[in-house]
Amino acid sequence: MHEVGFIHRDLKPGNICTGNPPSDDHILYVLDFGISRRIFKKKDSRELRNKRDRVPFYGTRKFCNRACHLEQDQGRKDDMETYVYTVLDLFHNERGLPWSKDLMEPKKIVAKKKALCANPVKELDPMIPPPFAKIITYLNNLKFPDAVDYRFIEMELRSARKDVTTSDPSDESMDWTGKLEALLEKAKKNKKAETPKGEETIEFERLKLIAAKRTADRSNGKSANESSMMRTLTRDGEGSEGPPTGFNERALTTIGGGTVGAPKKDPLKVEKKRSRSRN
């Protein structure tokens, strides 16, 4: 995505899915490009767009990078910072990210993200493989315009895999391989399909409760708000957030230190009309 000139700005587990089994369930697909942004000035150019002085918050509190919190322009390194948070969360829904229990307190989230990036060896949970500390330290030393060494990150991830598994590196089977087929087979036999075990199902169970409550509200004659589920997710720090409707992001594009894009309105001038008297 970076190679073709875009950054995602909202990477998280909810925006990643697998392909359909059995042919491509080992392939991961990135979803939701609603707040993606072009980083190069032209399609056929590798020249970066000018860094803006201030950018409104676009992202998800739990997974967004520090620049997003601080309303700074995001680059490729910031996208990769969000990617690292996403992977850490998949290790454990609470221990993976030190701020998982502080999603209602943005200041604490920012403080813990800064602490993690400054000293990952100290802040990471012992269950996280050491190569992740190297990746975080590498990204922390990059600046906004810097390109990312994706090969270095890939090699460290491969090294991390050796720390957590004893399987053959050439084996491309995934943890979820065959589980969906087993659930569908049980459903065909009129048996109650079991919910997959693991920390990743906690959010799924919570969403089922929200959906059940909405159904109950409809049956009781209450007005159903179509955005209630999204508001709940946002309140818990799991949903994407952004500026108010109608906000013009282009108005914050800076050139030479000045802000352009939003037309300036002159103060309303009120002229006092002279009254004319008739003789």
Listing DSSP states for 34-48 in one string gives: TT-EE-BSSTT--PB
Q: Which ranges of the chain have pLDDT less than 50?
A: 199, 224, 226-227, 229-230, 232, 251-273, 275, 277-279
- Per the CB < 8 A criterion, the answer to whether 6 and 39 are in contact is yes
- The pair of structure tokens assigned to 81 is 């910072």
pLDDT tens digits for range 186-210: 877 765 555 555 545 566 666 677 7
Burial class (CB in 10 A: 0-12, 13-18, 19+), 128: buried
pTM for the whole structure: 0.69
- 3-state secondary structure (DSSP) of residue 159: helix
Residue 29's DSSP bridge partners are 17
CATH of domain 6-176+240-256: 1.10.510.10
| Percent of residues, the chain, with pLDDT higher than 90 | 47
Domain boundaries, the chain: 6-176+240-256, 179-235
pLDDT in tens, 144-196: 999 999 999 999 999 998 877 655 655 666 777 777 777 777 877 765 555 55
